[in-house]
Structure 1
């Protein structure tokens, strides 16, 4: 049972069903996805409560760690947002559906937050790579398969994630070494993946290990949602192997499609230019738009 605003509580594994019910009327925004919130809560800073039957979220900004407050739900939105703005000044990561339903004459400044738009891919297009726009990807994928095809192995998760922990940790070490990463962001992501592994029985995640010459070189962890959506949570690999991430993404799309998914949420780019160009390079079908709201 969620506490009532303004009494926030730390997110716990037993909140999963209640949170998923609260967001079920919305498209699958990554910020409100339970697996994402729970696994990335590496320092007990993700907090939740309810206000007028809406889910209220407090979480650290993805880049600055300053607190962000947000809301998702359909009940008494104008009243709920006014209460939040009175108390915290600004709310962010607000889904487009909420912005469309509130009274825009209510002395509000509503601003698109492009850096936090979720990228939505048409899974079939990224499985087939048909058309001129994917000519480069088809060529790269063909070269990768030609070079490594004889030694590739895909170990699809058939058991909880914890059964693949050794292989996942091996890949994380390879990734960190190949990227020369040992910063706080890399450590937090490792912790988030470990939290997902530790609670894999409850989180019901899917994915695979990519082996080359019987050695783990990459992995993908994703989630099949209760509709025609999937969401990507983690993709890591030995980046000294050229085009390995393209192959992993292509395989992820294949298995998402095989499970019946039509769309894949690949989360936001945070305004990081290299990440934005990489995500745009896969030609998103559309975005899940988010907004910030404050008073005049």
Structure 2
């Protein structure tokens, strides 16, 4: 069972709660991700500048005819990681095929004549969005930073907070998420009975 952190104080002695750091979610100020201000985020701006010096790009709202291009990005991303097809691939395909009835928002970055990155997210409330998936072709330095910024600056510009999900206890993913300076981390806990029946 997964519960929010404040639940722990409501049930003293009944349950044992253990922090599940890998499932805790990173919450960011949308404006900060869109503008990348200050010294703390200068490396992100530098990566984007390196990309834009070498490549022109277009930000486009996702349309159904872009599905196979996005799935190609997913396959290339998996190959780059040395992974086979996985469950995530099927979920991404289903989400992109059904983004309108599901109420999702999606966009792509096109460069060098090809769709090279995509982002897909959902509105959790009027002021809070969740990035579900974000992928980019690994051969383009700075493209991950660019699609991240564009998602905040354009796709979810009408929100205050952007939830970029968990890090799954993957050190590289954790470092990347922390490097964007989250507003806070929404801690998640595993829960079990203190005295099983």
> What TM-score do you get using the length of structure 2 for normalisation?
0.89
Which residue in the other structure is 1:95 paired with? 4
Q: Which stretches in structure 2 are left out of the alignment for 5+ residues? A: none
- Given that 1:118 and 1:287 are in contact with CA atoms closer than 8 Å, whether structure 2 keeps it comes out as yes
Q: Does 1:231 align with 2:133?
A: no
Map 1:111-190; keep pairs closer than 5 Å.
111-149=18-56, 152-157=57-62, 162-182=64-84, 186-190=85-89
Alignment partner of 1:285 out of 174, 179, 183:
183
Which residue in the other structure is 2:100 paired with? 201
Q: Provide the aligned length of Structure 1 versus Structure 2.
A: 194
Q: Does 1:222 align with 2:124?
A: no
- Given that 2:124 and 2:130 are in contact with CA atoms closer than 8 Å, whether structure 1 keeps it comes out as yes
Could you list the per-position Cα deviations for residues 11-50 of structure 1 after superposition, in whole angstroms to 9, with x for gaps in the alignment? xxxxxxxxxxxxxxxxxxxxxxxxxxxxxxxxxxxxxxxx
SS at match of 2:180: coil
Q: 2: distance between equivalents of 1:194 and 1:105?
A: 44
- Given that 2:67 and 2:97 are in contact with CA atoms closer than 8 Å, whether structure 1 keeps it comes out as no
Greater RCO (CA < 8 Å, at least 6 residues apart): 2
Q: Does 1:104 align with 2:22?
A: no
SS at match of 1:225: strand
- Given that 1:219 and 1:236 are in contact with CA atoms closer than 8 Å, whether structure 2 keeps it comes out as yes
Q: 2: distance between equivalents of 1:137 and 1:196?
A: 28
Larger Rg: 1
Which residue in the other structure is 2:171 paired with? 273
Q: Which stretches in structure 1 are left out of the alignment for 5+ residues? A: 1-69, 71-92
- Given that 1:156 and 1:209 are in contact with CA atoms closer than 8 Å, whether structure 2 keeps it comes out as yes
> What TM-score do you get using the length of structure 1 for normalisation?
0.61
Q: 1: distance between equivalents of 2:51 and 2:68?
A: 25
- The alpha-carbon deviation at position 274 of structure 1 amounts to 1.2
Q: 2: distance between equivalents of 1:131 and 1:203?
A: 36
